[in-house]
Structures are given as C-alpha cells and as structure tokens.
Amino acid sequence: MRDEEETVAAFDGRLFTLNSAPGWKLNRQRIVTSGGREYREWDPHRSKLAAFLATGGSFFPFSRQSNVLYLGASAGTTASHVADIAPAGRVCCIEISFSSYVRLREVAERHPCMIPVLADASKPGEYAAIVGEPDVLYQDIAQRNSVEIFLKNVLHFRSLRSLFLVVKARSIDSAVSPRLVFAEAKRKVDKALGVRSGMVDISAFEKDHAVIYATVGTTGEP
Ligand code: SAM
C-alpha cells in the first residue's frame, strides 16, 4: 500500500475503508473492489465513528501511522476499521468484558496493528506499558462515569493530541434530556482540559449519542 492511498472512501454514498486484510470481512459486510483494491463497508449504524463522519463530522486526525488508544473496543467492529485506517501504526484496544475480548482477539489476529488488551479503562496505569505513547484517543464506553474515565486517560497519556469521546446520554443520566447531558459532558471536558471541544450529535444513527472531539497539547482548536 502506498502512503498517499486514501484509507476511507465513499462509493454510491456509502462509507468504506481500504481493507488492510483483503479477503476478510465482518459478518455480511459489503465489499467493493476499485482500482485493484478492496474496500469494506463502514456502516454508520454499527460504528459511531462512521456515524460521526456520516453526520458531517470533519475532525479526522488519523494517519496510516497513528498510534491509537481505543477504550471500549467491544468485539472490534469499529476498531477493525481504525486498523484499516492506521495499518502502519498501532491500535491498542482496551476492553473489560472477557467474552467481547475473546471476539476482539479473533479480529486482531487478522490485523497486525491491533493489540487487544483485557483491562479496565478506569485504570490506565495497568495498560500504560503496553500502550506506549498514543497520539489519538477514541473512547466508546457506555458507563455513567465515562467522562471521568476519559479525563483520567487524557491526563495519564501526555502524548495524546487528538481526542474522541462518545457520549451515551442514557448511561450518564436518563432523567434529563440528552442535549443537557451532552452539554454537561462537553463543559466538563473543556474545563478539565482547557480546550474548546467540538460536538456532533449522532442520534440519527445511534439514539441519544453524541461525539465530543478536541485537540490537546497544541494551540489550535478542533
Ligand atoms: N466501540 C465499539 C464499536 O464501535 O465496535 C462498541 C463499544 S460498546 C458500546 C461499549 C464497550 O465498552 C463494551 O464492550 C463494554 O464491555 C466496554 N466497557 C465498559 N466499561 C469499560 C471499562 N471500564 N473498561 C473497558 N471497557 C469497558
């Protein structure tokens, strides 16, 4: 694969990633071949990062060499697409559920840049040695304290420059409107990190979810 090749593409209005494990796909995923290269459909109903892009999110700090810390990788659906996007980097996938981790490991067997780790994302000190110096953080854990877990990791890994936080409103507070939960999560992130984050409501694809994104350690805003 050449460096300048696009790892994300659109065909017929659908998103795809350049398959870094040609011949492999998840379940009944659609495959398209173009210019001799194989692309795997990236479904915004199954991946919140794809939903972010499909909703107009333009923050996309990944390169082929990105070192990504992925918190809440589950069975590896989105992580496999991140691996397509950063095949020459590292995608450290932290997952707490053993059954999801077992499936994640199977996906990682086909993606050399993926490193599956069975661990609790609220304890970054326990996986820091494996993760090294990540530049992108992507967190998707549907927990009441997900903002606190996110901040803990950002403050632990000082090499981080680009951040994504998926917020599931109902996991944080089901008694108030999702918009208020999103705004409060964003306020906490901005205050704790001294940033002005951006936010995209992806509820059209994933009910009551938003993605907060920010840049840290540089002077620019997202
Ligand atoms: N990001 C996945 C994707 O797009 O394919 C879906 C993630 S799912 C919504 C949330 C995952 O976070 C679950 O697999 C859950 O086990 C995991 N999780 C919840 N709390 C966690 C924690 N403290 N540490 C690590 N993983 C956690």
Contact (CB, 8 A) for 50 and 15: yes
Query: 120 CB under 6 A from ligand 1?
Result: yes
Please tell me if the CB atom of residue 107 comes closer than 6 angstroms to any atom of ligand 1.
Answer: no
Ligand 1 center to 141 CA (angstroms): 4
Cα angle 43, 32, 85 (rounded to 5 degrees) comes to 60
Are residues 103 and 129 in contact, defined by beta-carbon separation less than 8 angstroms? no
Burial class of 209 by CB neighbour count within 10 A (0 to 12, 13 to 18, 19+): buried
Task: Indicate the pTM of the whole model.
Answer: 0.96
Per-residue pLDDT at 3: 46
Count of Cβ atoms closer than 10 Å to residue 38 Cβ: 17
* Token pair in block for residue 217: 């350690």
Q: In the prediction, which pLDDT does 4 show?
A: 46
Residue pLDDT tens, the chain, 222 long: 444 468 999 999 999 999 999 999 999 999 999 999 999 999 999 999 999 999 999 999 999 999 999 999 999 999 999 999 999 999 999 999 999 999 999 999 999 999 999 999 999 999 999 999 999 999 999 999 999 999 999 999 999 999 999 999 999 999 999 999 999 999 999 999 999 999 999 999 999 999 999 999 875 556
Q: Determine whether the shortest distance from the Cβ of 140 to ligand 1 is under 6 A.
A: yes
Domain ranges of the chain: 45-215
Ligand 1 centroid to 75 CA: how many Å?
A: 9
CA of 51 to the centre of ligand 1 (A): 17
Q: How far does residue 36's CA lie from ligand 1's centre (Å)?
A: 35
Q: Tell me, what's the pLDDT at 1?
A: 42
Q: Would you state the pLDDT for residue 218?
A: 72
The CATH T-level fold of domain 45-215 is: Rossmann fold (3.40.50)
**19 to each of 1, 14, 84, 111, 140, how far by Cα in Å?**
11, 15, 6, 10, 23
Which ligand 1 atom is nearest residue 100's CA? Answer: 14
Asked whether 143 lines ligand 1 (CB < 6 A), one says yes
CA gap 12, 4 in Å, rounded: 22
Residue 169, SS3 per DSSP: helix
Cβ 38 vs Cβ 16: under 8 Å: no
pLDDT of residue 18: 98
Half-sphere exposure at residue 197, Cβ-oriented, CA atoms within 13 angstroms: 26
> Is the CB of 171 within 6 Å of ligand 1?
no
- Residue 137 Cα, ligand 1 centroid: separation in angstroms? 14
